[in-house]
A and B are shown apart, each in its own frame.
Chain A
């Protein structure tokens, strides 16, 4: 358990820095699911957006210093990898800690079992306010307020962070809409998670101050060696441990900045085992009421700045064609009218989760992907769908990290989900240009950028390693996200 304390120090600090990187990508906090521009209750950015041109949330992304964020410099993909791999480690450590705590009887140290702790803690606060140190509890190395605080952090704050974190997973939200409502919605959970971060920072500051006040060497001897002895050795060992933790942070930052692809592969290998096992089976079953629809659904990505696209748009996309081919028995070329005629439109009112953290609720109408699969009849070796779009990031998206045609890879198993849709309508009207007209993908247990917009072709493939950089999509290739984005 004493070892776990230092492991926890490493994990919590990694979570804090990587969490700040995640915050930097959309440094605004909201109260409601709509994330309506201008309604945020907090901002951590100095950027202002234009009012006369379309802007998207990529434009709003901030670049924070590597001192406060891991790794900093607008690398959300890296921040997410570190955050999720650390969460796995922290949860496993926490479970082991709880088991040890209760099987060794050490829980007595942290879990109060008498109401008398409250007046004792109150007296301790008054004593601290008198610039004096209160007495320790009998037989314990803690005073009353410290015991209460440790209990709150171990048994309330830590689980709170995990639960509010889980409430921000698109897969969890899609499969258990009641769970995200429990936390006040997607943005409510995000705000609470942020407040948990602030609470942890506050706890760490006070904790370090307390150790300094009560005796750094003595308390570190107790924490490391189990007894107050060899004070000089304990002091230097504590410094060495802190230096080692800092070294891990520096190494993680440098590795991420210099070789993000290797971080993506290494950490993604671990994280994806968890994702595919726990979250992939969570099928979306959302049915938000019409009253929940966001008056202004946020936008990410800018429409294709090509004359071809503009001419198609002004003619209501009658000349647009969707080509569906690759490993299928029956390749087709469809117009919008063809898509509408294939079957009665399916509508779904769902919560959209951008990887950057904002959300909105919209009603999408279109053709279920299952029906397209039934029409084209994929061959047995077809395992993925490649969505090719009319967007060119070099031409259309100044805030993009790289150039090239935007594409996304979707696994066949996801394409069969009941709420996997080719949407040509939004909120009862033709799909707007800024939201992907004439056709976009909806796959509700994944983050937003998987839902390719401005689609022109769907290709069925057996593997995607030869497409782009081979990571499963444009954002996966260039921003180093994982291909599966159920969290």
Chain B
């Protein structure tokens, strides 16, 4: 394993990554919530736009909105680490789903929406992908210890 890390340069990258640590639990959680609500807001915009979507896609948009809002609430409610961890996990789930669905839709097509194939030139879609990637990166940083999320506190005793 160490040999693989060394040869691929991944070991150096991991070592470099471990030099960074931040102590902003409220800022981290607030940023995550803002990103999730951004993802939800974009789906809400789709629902309210003057476009007719297939029923399954409408259900998907509603689910994304609901899970994103639920995840946001879970990330702050009660101050219990177990609940907030579930909130973050839900947030990553909805971010990953939105990313995958968008990429699949634009590359392979979605049932009833073949006209989406190759249509990458959609600013809101690109922005939505960026938000999803940002949340996944943020959660990764929390899981790996670079960041901490509310209600955790840093134990930097020195």
The residue from A38, A41, A46, A132 contacting B18, defined by CB atoms under 8 A apart? A46
Given known pairs A129-B123, A129-B127, A130-B121, the reply for A42 and B158 (CB within 8 Å) is: no
Given known pairs A46-B18, A131-B120, the reply for A40 and B126 (CB within 8 Å) is: no
| A-contact 0/1 string along B14-45, CB 8 Å cutoff | 00001111111000000000000000000000
The residue from B22, B24, B156 contacting A38, defined by CB atoms under 8 A apart? B156
Closest CB in chain A relative to B68 CB, distance in Å: 21
A48 to B18 Cα, complex, angstroms:
13
A127 to B18 Cα, complex, angstroms:
37
Closest CB in chain A relative to B12 CB, distance in Å: 10
Sample (9) of A-B pairs whose CB atoms are under 8 Å apart = A42-B22, A43-B20, A43-B21, A43-B22, A45-B19, A51-B157, A125-B123, A130-B126, A132-B121
A37 to B23 Cα, complex, angstroms:
13
A87 to B24 Cα, complex, angstroms:
32
A51 to B154 Cα, complex, angstroms:
16
Please count how many residues in chain A sit with their CB below 8 Å of the partner chain's CB atoms. Answer: 23
> B126–A51 contact, CB under 8 A?
no
B7 within 8 Å of A by Cβ?
A: no
Q: Return the chain A residue nearest B158 by Cβ.
A: A49
A43 to B158 Cα, complex, angstroms:
12
Tell me which residues across on chain A come within 8 A of B158, comparing CB atoms: 37-38, 48-51, 55
Q: Return the chain B residue nearest A55 by Cβ.
A: B158
A181 to B154 Cα, complex, angstroms:
27
Interface residues of B in 83-100 (CB under 8 A from A): none
> B123–A41 contact, CB under 8 A?
no
A130 to B120 Cα, complex, angstroms:
7
Tell me which residues across on chain B come within 8 A of A132, comparing CB atoms: 121
B122 within 8 Å of A by Cβ?
A: yes
| B-contact 0/1 string along A19-47, CB 8 Å cutoff | 00000000100000000011111111110
A126 within 8 Å of B by Cβ?
A: yes
Tell me which residues across on chain B come within 8 A of A46, comparing CB atoms: 18-19
Tell me which residues across on chain A come within 8 A of B22, comparing CB atoms: 41-43
Closest CB in chain A relative to B6 CB, distance in Å: 17
Closest CB in chain B relative to A67 CB, distance in Å: 11
Tell me which residues across on chain A come within 8 A of B121, comparing CB atoms: 130-132
Interface residues of B in 103-158 (CB under 8 A from A): 120-124, 126-127, 154, 156-158
> B122–A130 contact, CB under 8 A?
yes
Q: Return the chain A residue nearest B127 by Cβ.
A: A129
Tell me which residues across on chain B come within 8 A of A130, comparing CB atoms: 120-123, 126
Tell me which residues across on chain B come within 8 A of A129, comparing CB atoms: 123-124, 126-127
> A40–B123 contact, CB under 8 A?
no
Tell me which residues across on chain A come within 8 A of B123, comparing CB atoms: 125-127, 129-130
Q: Return the chain B residue nearest A43 by Cβ.
A: B21
> B19–A44 contact, CB under 8 A?
yes
A401 to B121 Cα, complex, angstroms:
58
Q: Return the chain A residue nearest B126 by Cβ.
A: A129
A96 to B127 Cα, complex, angstroms:
40
Tell me which residues across on chain B come within 8 A of A51, comparing CB atoms: 157-158
Given known pairs A126-B123, A129-B127, A130-B126, the reply for A43 and B24 (CB within 8 Å) is: no
Given known pairs A130-B121, A131-B121, A132-B121, the reply for A43 and B156 (CB within 8 Å) is: yes
Tell me which residues across on chain A come within 8 A of B157, comparing CB atoms: 37-38, 51
